[in-house]
C-alpha cells in the first residue's frame, strides 16, 4: 500500500489554480526530495517535477512544486483541459530503504 | 534519446515465476549515478515501486515483496531483468521499467518505458 497520502481527486475550471497535497513522514518527505509524475489516460507516467521544485525541459511553468516539513504540494496554475490526468508524488524512504509513491490524485477539468 | 522497453509474457499462471526484461538505449548502466527501477500498477490502482539496480550493482527491493523479487543487469546488452516468483492473481498489473537518477540520495524516474500488462490467471 502507498506510504504517501494524496487526496483522491481535485478539480477546477479552465484557467483556475489547483493544488495537490502529498503527506508523508520524517523518514521519507522529511528527509528526501520529492518528485511528481503525471499519468495521462492510458499512458505511462511522465516526470513532471523533480527535487521538490525543478521542472524537466519541456514541462510548462504552469506546474510548480514545493515542500515543507513532511508534506509537499503540486500546483497547476492556468488549468488546461490537457492537464486532466492522474498525478503521483514519490520519494525515497530511508526507513524502508526504497522508493514510495503517493496514493494518486485524479485531476478533472470542469 | 533515452528509451526503455519492457518485454515478457502477457499471461502467467498462478505459482509460476515471471521474468521481465527491460531493454534500454541512450545511456549506460555502467555510468556512475545511473540506475534502473521496476514499478507496477494494478488496473485502476496506484503505482508501486518494486526494485532498483545501480551502476555499481547495488540492489534495492520493496520490503513487502523482497522475498519474491530478483533484479539483475547485463551491461553489455543494455538490459535489466526482473524475476518475481510465486505469481498470484493480485500481481496482475502493468509493469514499467524506468531509468532512475540518484544524484545524492533520493532520485527520480525519467523516462519510463511504455509498460507491459501481465495477467495472472489459470
| Mean pLDDT of the region B29-51 | 96
Closest by Cβ to B49, choosing from A44, A50, A100: A100
pLDDT of A1 reads: 65
Return d(Cα A21, Cα A19) in angstroms, integer: 7
pLDDT, averaged in runs of 10, over chain A (110 residues): 91 97 96 97 97 96 97 98 98 96 97
The angle at the Cα of B103, spanning A26 to A89, to the nearest 5 degrees, equals: 45
> Percent of chain A at pLDDT above 70?
99
- Judging contacts by C-beta atoms under 8 Å, the chain B residues touching residue A50 are 108, 110
Whether the pLDDT of residue B105 is over 80: the answer is no
Band the pLDDT of B33: cuts 50, 70, 90.
Answer: confident
Instruction: Characterize B54-81 residue by residue with b for buried, 16 or more Cβ atoms within 10 angstroms of its Cβ, and e for exposed.
Output: bbeeeebbbeebeebbebebeeeebbbb
Answer whether A47 touches B (CB < 8 Å).
yes
Return d(Cα A40, Cα A62) in angstroms, integer: 17
- Judging contacts by C-beta atoms under 8 Å, the chain B residues touching residue A32 are 105-106
Rounded to a whole number of angstroms, the distance between the first and last alpha carbons of chain A is: 30
Answer whether A88 touches B (CB < 8 Å).
yes
- Judging contacts by C-beta atoms under 8 Å, the chain A residues touching residue B6 are none
Amino acid at each position: 500500500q502507498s506510504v504517501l497520502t494524496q487526496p483522491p481527486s481535485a478539480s477546477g475550471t479552465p484557467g483556475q489554480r489547483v493544488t495537490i497535497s502529498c503527506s508523508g513522514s520524517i523518514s521519507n518527505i522529511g528527509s528526501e526530495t520529492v518528485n511528481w509524475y503525471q499519468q495521462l489516460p492510458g499512458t505511462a507516467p511522465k516526470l513532471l517535477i523533480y527535487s521538490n521544485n525543478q521542472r524537466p525541459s519541456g514541462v510548462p511553468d504552469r506546474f510548480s512544486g514545493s515542500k515543507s516539513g513532511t508534506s509537499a504540494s503540486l500546483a497547476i496554475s492556468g488549468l488546461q483541459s490537457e492537464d486532466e490526468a492522474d498525478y503521483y508524488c514519490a520519494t525515497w524512504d530511508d526507513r524502508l530503504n526504497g522508493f514510495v509513491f503517493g496514493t494518486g490524485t485524479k485531476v478533472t477539468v470542469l | 534519446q533515452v528509451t526503455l522497453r519492457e518485454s515478457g509474457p502477457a499471461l502467467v499462471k498462478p505459482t509460476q515465476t515471471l521474468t521481465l526484461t527491460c531493454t534500454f538505449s541512450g545511456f549506460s548502466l555502467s555510468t556512475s549515478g545511473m540506475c534502473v527501477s521496476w514499478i507496477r500498477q494494478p488496473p485502476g490502482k496506484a503505482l508501486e515501486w518494486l526494485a532498483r539496480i545501480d551502476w555499481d550493482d547495488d540492489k534495492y527491493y520493496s520490503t513487502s515483496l523482497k522475498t519474491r523479487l530478483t533484479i539483475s543487469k547485463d551491461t553489455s546488452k543494455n538490459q535489466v531483468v526482473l524475476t518475481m516468483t510465486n505469481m498470484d492473481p493480485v500481481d496482475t498489473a502493468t509493469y514499467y521499467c524506468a531509468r532512475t537518477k540518484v544524484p545524492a540520495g533520493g532520485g527520480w524516474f525519467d523516462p519510463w518505458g511504455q509498460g507491459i500488462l501481465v495477467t495472472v490467471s489459470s
